[in-house]
Structure 1
Amino acid sequence: MHNLRYYFESDNENVNVRVHYLDARDLSAHAYLQTPNQRDDYRFARHDRVVLLDDPALAYYLRQSSRLPSRDVAAIGINNATLLERAHAQGIPLALTTVAIEESAGLARQITNKDALLLLYSATPAGRQLKQQALEHLGEAGWEQITARTWESVYATGLESKDQAILALDAPLMLARHTPASELADYFQQTLDPLFCYAAYLRDYGCVGGAFINVASLAHLVAHRLTHNETLSQSLDVPLELSLSYSLLDQLPPGIDVKVLDIPAFQQIPRWAWLVILGLLLTLISVAGIAWWRLRRKQQFVDLIAHEAEYDALTHLYNRRKILAVLERMMASEKPVWLLYVDLDGFRDINDTLGHAQGDQLLQGFAKLLRSLAKGRANYGRIGGDEFLILCHQKKHALTLAQRLVRELDNPFLIDNQHLTLRCSIGVVTFPQQAENATQLLHCAEVALYAAKSRDEPIALFTEQMRNDQARHTALAQDLERAIDEGGDQLELHIQPIVSLKRQAIVGGEVLLRWRHPVEGSISPGTFIPIAEGSDLILKLNDWVVKQTIQRLAAEALYRDISYLAINISAKQLYARRFAAEASELAKQYGVPSRALSFEMTEHVRLMDITSVQQQILELRDAGFGVALDDFGAGYTSISFLQQIQFSSVKIDRSLTAGLCSDNADTSRHLMQGLLYLGDRLSKQVIIEGVETLAESDLLQNMGADHVQGYYYYRPMPWEDFTRQVKPSLSANAARHPAHRQQH
């Protein structure tokens, strides 16, 4: 505004010209227009003019114009569309900022060569209004992405990414109240360089480039008209000027053109002319109304079809076709591409158990989570039922996003008053280092995803060894399924006895599966069980083990000599709605009492819907079966989980047993005593795994432990050997003969 005052006075040497200017900050402090004649300093003279500096000033002038002396008024920096129309109607010349914003944004794109734009604005009503106007005008300028942040948030946290051109819409007014402009300029020049602006006064806050309104030239035009007694209501050409830091001159592309914003003349229209125009408009609307409505409906239909062609109808993420097209475009950019292949573990079981309606809500909840984590940093889409793709140009963003996604999924989703917990597996691969085209890239990502599942890890980065492992896993999965379908001749049931220290006898056993491959020989359960867990093959394998166990118990009447046999089942088995009923029917069919069977499951069941877990385990308990929580103490299962779920027994993990005679033995012994006490108070049988030495056995016996299992007593043995061990003639002294003295 000092420029305006200078040029007004310098071009009017023989006339006393004063400028009364008003902006949002001066409105309450000085009230120039509220009391124009009460003080000598502000009385209007012949050549006095009023310049309105922003939206609040113009709004106040329009409200009070009938009470103010008639003086020519000019307005600069008006953003509100309604105010623009009213100013035009009263013949007030305007210097608009819209073109300057568009020019500055275009300049930022040409110099930075970036297709994403970040808008900075102050956290004030005027700042938010300016942001909205900029979003509307720049939304059709071909930017791939436009985001907006306040100066305050950038000053507080900085920028996570510098892959955006940055345009300032106003000054950091809120920050400037407490921080000197020079300090702000130093910070923003270091953090945001290059920073583009549309107003010259923003140079004080670190701006280095933009297409600015030339306020000095504008003042010169107004002063010239005053000295020649010309009215200000005639149109004004608002000049723009290019302003760049020297550091950006070399980056300036050829052909940059500084355009001039022309404000067309807008004369006061008489009232009778408005009435004629209004009548014509009403006639036109009445005739064209139906046609317009039909055209609008047609356009909505076209827009809907276009949206459905690129977006998934359920999650509103990119669909498979669109995300793959984005992948091709990113690969053509000659920048590295990091692809994350995400699969929701256990979703299909939840969908089958609770119904598709809740499954759909769960997918929508996951999509919302993914959108909140990845927006502005990656492209993402749904490619199948529970499978998603995430695409990034930077490794850091890709891995950080994968880790945050896994971490956030620890928080359950609330669906229809039920807390549902999801887990995910993520395969990570990069182009062009690990693939030459999109097809190869997706295949490598699937291989990494499968590796993550088989290792029971949430994230796996692709390696060439994974490709070889997958080929072997696929072959083993086919061979295992064939072995089950052909009757299970390659499969053997082994049993590791469970010993009672108080009775000094074998009281039960844990059923373990062994596979003798016709070509590869004995294959470890640590190899083929995860392969089966990676698909529904685990259900067929569990069914085979349950049926074989019941049949052999019946054939040998073994249930008369022991309390029970424990069978390990997958958490997926609980999602089979009739598992308890089918197991009960099978036991009745062969005449085996249900108390002779106990089903063991790991803490992975805690990731299921708690209501479903309670119902399924309650059905097993009601049918007379035992239900044990395996490997307690090795993971994250809480004591409250034991209170919620009606397990009949708890198996203490071998890692706690191993610490009883270690350097930190006191802590381990206190923990073990606490768990034994807890089991007693909760009326749950406690079985201690991994007892391998006489010292461990004696310690546990002194603590009052009863049921134990481990190599000190017995190693896993074939079913036939176990049968001989538990015959009445041998069982009395069975527990007194450690396994290392026997050849099993």
Structure 2
Amino acid sequence: MLATACGVNAIGDTFNLFQSSGGASHIGTVFDGIAWPTAILLMSMSVWLRPAASDPLAAPKAPGVLLPGLGALSGLAVLFVGTLRHLSPWALGLAIATLITVGIRIAMSTRSLRTLTEERRLQSVTDELTGLGNRRYLFQVLDAFFAEYDHRRGPERRLAFLFVDLDHFKEINDSFGHSAGDQLLKQLGPRLAGSLRGSDLLVRLGGDELGVVLIDTDLNHASGVAERLLARIQEPFMLEGVSVRISASIGIAFAPADATDTVGLLHHADLAMYRAKLGASAFEFYKADIDAGGNRLRLVDELRVAVETGDFVLHYQPQVDLHSGEVTAVEALLRWPHPRLGVVPPLQFLPLAEEAGLMRPLTAWVLDQALAQCAAWRKDAHELAVSVNVSATNLVDAGFIDVVSDTLARHGLPTSALILEITETTIIGDFERCKHVIAQLCEGGLTVSIDDFGAGFTSLAYLGSLAVRELKLDRGFITPLVVDGEGRDLELVRATIDLGHALGLRVVAEGIETAGTLDLLARIGCDLAQGFFISRPVPASDLALHADFRPAVPSVDELKAS
């Protein structure tokens, strides 16, 4: 309304200008007499009337050019009339001033439009959270490279694309909240950028996936970059005052050797990344003979067939009682002998089983095989318990407790023969539900153990409310222990063991790789120990070769006597 008032006022002034320069006319007098009161009325109404409610979903409108355009036309009209008849210097000056003002306004609008266009372009190719390039920018860069490749006549250029997938990122979001995950990604961007050349490109593809473009590179350089990126990723992050570590899997594909278009290059790097996630290496290069025709769907299908046919093996790692030196339990560790990828450890293929809904039949198979072997050992007078890892999917399965009970009964075993290991990150994901199921399992006489304690981010306040009977320290606690029995790492382990005992829990330490570490754990009161120093995970037939199940490790009494 205010703009309309200004327009009406301008029309009245224009007619007034013509009258003052060329003589009064009846029509001009009428327009001039109507315009001024109308403009004043509209201006007054615009002040007193309440503005209409705005639509927050409506797209912002671009600056209009109607009023500047009308001003320019009026100025040109005055100058045109001035060529036909004599105008006063005032009229001529006002017309020229109007044109200059309009020119300045158009220049400012053009500059603002260019700035806005550049801002919108940057927004469209930038990840809002991290400030890195996004998937759109990656496609622009790769499309430009392949377009140049199609028309290039000179020496061939090589480009490597590294597909980086962060491991354990979901656990951080579940434990700390998504704001902590966002904070980690913000810290990660500058850290990784420092490991790249100025000509390299780092982008965030979305979620916990990143991409790196290396132009004019080779296999050795790409390997070195992957190693540097992994090293920087594995350095600790400070999130809400807690030191957190993550890892990553990287797949690498080259252009034009592995792909001659953007979609194909990303797909092949994605395949290599999943092979790295399933295998022992943290990064892998795309290999057509292995990856051609393969993808996650193929891996899931192969996993489904393996579950149906039972194409898995169990290896067993003994746990030694540090008071007696005897092996009293073994942990059953699942392996997948894959026809193309070799033996795949569980941490690599279990996420696929979770996604495909295969955890129920897979866990049932593991329980059946492990308890059958335990029954065989007990028949040979080896009173061992067997530990089996279970997931959050198992705990929330309404029929899981019945599966455990039926399997124990089928093999004629008491509940003391089975220990169920649950990671603390599994518990925190659905604490109330897990708490309820754990209580039911313990009421039935089963032992539930918190596995990898210290690797996740749960509060110690949760520990006292869970009906667990065993605490299994993560190897990250054990590895830094100093052999001379000093240092904060040792005091932290001692305090954790004391806490477990105060809560009536049996404490197990895993990751024992030296005699000195075993000695320290025995001296500070740890109950059980497990690790490569005692025995690597082996098939049941190899474990049975130890006739009395007594590896050469000192007992507490022997240590006191020494």
Q: Report the TM range for the smaller structure's normalisation.
A: 0.5 to 0.7
SS in 1 for 2:140: helix
Query: What is the match of residue 675 of structure 1?
Result: 518
Are residues 1:649 and 2:507 paired? yes
Query: CA separation in 2, counterparts of 1:625 and 1:598?
Result: 6
Alignment gaps of 5+ in structure 1: 1-281, 657-670, 707-744
Query: CA separation in 2, counterparts of 1:444 and 1:360?
Result: 28
Residue 354 of structure 1: CA displacement? 2.2
Query: What is the match of residue 531 of structure 1?
Result: 349
Query: CA separation in 1, counterparts of 2:525 and 2:475?
Result: 18
Aligned residue among 573, 576, 580 for 2:426: 573
TM-score, normalisation: structure 2: 0.56
Residue 431 of structure 1: CA displacement? 1.5
Query: What is the match of residue 349 of structure 1?
Result: 171
Contact 2:422–2:449, Cα closer than 8 Å, also in 1: no
Residue 336 of structure 1: CA displacement? 0.8
Q: Which has the larger radius of gyration?
A: 1
SS in 2 for 1:433: coil
Query: What is the match of residue 449 of structure 1?
Result: 273
Are residues 1:414 and 2:238 paired? yes
Contact 2:203–2:212, Cα closer than 8 Å, also in 1: yes
Aligned in 2, Cα 1:497/1:399: closer, same or farther, shift over 3 Å? Answer: closer
Query: CA separation in 2, counterparts of 1:452 and 1:469?
Result: 17
Q: Higher relative contact order by CA 8 Å / sep ≥ 6: 1 or 2?
A: 2
Residue 298 of structure 1: CA displacement? 4.1
Residue 207 of structure 2 aligns with an amino acid whose one-letter code is G
Residue 510 of structure 1: CA displacement? 3.6
Residue 394 of structure 1 aligns with an amino acid whose one-letter code is T
Equivalenced residue count is 394
Query: CA separation in 2, counterparts of 1:481 and 1:543?
Result: 19
Query: What is the match of residue 424 of structure 1?
Result: 248
Contact 1:429–1:461, Cα closer than 8 Å, also in 2: yes
Aligned residue among 458, 463, 469 for 2:287: 463
Contact 2:442–2:448, Cα closer than 8 Å, also in 1: no
SS in 2 for 1:532: helix
Query: CA separation in 1, counterparts of 2:458 and 2:126?
Result: 35
Aligned residue among 601, 619, 624 for 2:468: 624
Query: What is the match of residue 700 of structure 1?
Result: 553
Deviations 1:585-615 (A, max 9, x none): 124446635772224339xx64x5xxx1454
Residue 521 of structure 2 aligns with an amino acid whose one-letter code is L
Residue 409 of structure 1: CA displacement? 2.1
Query: What is the match of residue 310 of structure 1?
Result: 125
Aligned residue among 409, 415, 434 for 1:583: 434
Query: CA separation in 1, counterparts of 2:197 and 2:211?
Result: 13
Residue 379 of structure 1 aligns with an amino acid whose one-letter code is L
Residue 630 of structure 1: CA displacement? 6.2
SS in 1 for 2:259: coil
Aligned residue among 437, 443, 448 for 2:261: 437
Residue 407 of structure 1 aligns with an amino acid whose one-letter code is A
Residue 584 of structure 1: CA displacement? 3.3
Aligned in 2, Cα 1:684/1:495: closer, same or farther, shift over 3 Å? Answer: closer
Contact 1:594–1:624, Cα closer than 8 Å, also in 2: no
SS in 2 for 1:373: coil
Aligned in 2, Cα 1:531/1:354: closer, same or farther, shift over 3 Å? Answer: same
Contact 1:476–1:528, Cα closer than 8 Å, also in 2: no
Residue 698 of structure 1: CA displacement? 6.2
SS in 2 for 1:624: coil
Query: CA separation in 2, counterparts of 1:705 and 1:470?
Result: 56
TM-score, normalisation: structure 1: 0.44
Aligned residue among 347, 370, 392 for 2:192: 370
Residue 406 of structure 1: CA displacement? 1.3
Contact 2:202–2:213, Cα closer than 8 Å, also in 1: yes
Deviations 1:394-415 (A, max 9, x none): 1254333222211122322223
Alignment gaps of 5+ in structure 2: 1-96, 150-155, 364-390, 483-488, 501-505, 536-542
Deviations 1:527-556 (A, max 9, x none): 665212457449765246667774466565
Query: What is the match of residue 139 of structure 2?
Result: 324
For residues 226-245 of structure 1, the aligned pairs below 5 Å read none
Residue 325 of structure 1: CA displacement? 1.6
SS in 2 for 1:339: strand
Contact 2:421–2:448, Cα closer than 8 Å, also in 1: no
Query: CA separation in 2, counterparts of 1:596 and 1:627?
Result: 11
Aligned in 2, Cα 1:312/1:684: closer, same or farther, shift over 3 Å? Answer: same
Residue 515 of structure 1: CA displacement? 8.7
For residues 96-245 of structure 1, the aligned pairs below 5 Å read none
> Which range moved further: 561-570 or 323-332?
561-570
Query: CA separation in 2, counterparts of 1:465 and 1:571?
Result: 40
Query: What is the match of residue 91 of structure 2?
Result: none
Query: What is the match of residue 79 of structure 1?
Result: none
Residue 562 of structure 1: CA displacement? 6.5
Aligned in 2, Cα 1:625/1:450: closer, same or farther, shift over 3 Å? Answer: same
Aligned in 2, Cα 1:679/1:505: closer, same or farther, shift over 3 Å? Answer: closer
SS in 1 for 2:463: helix
Deviations 1:318-351 (A, max 9, x none): 2212212211223425311111111122223322
Query: What is the match of residue 14 of structure 1?
Result: none
Residue 429 of structure 2 aligns with an amino acid whose one-letter code is A
Aligned in 2, Cα 1:514/1:415: closer, same or farther, shift over 3 Å? Answer: closer
Query: CA separation in 2, counterparts of 1:501 and 1:650?
Result: 10
Residue 357 of structure 1: CA displacement? 2.2
Residue 566 of structure 1 aligns with an amino acid whose one-letter code is I
Q: CA RMSD in A?
A: 4.8
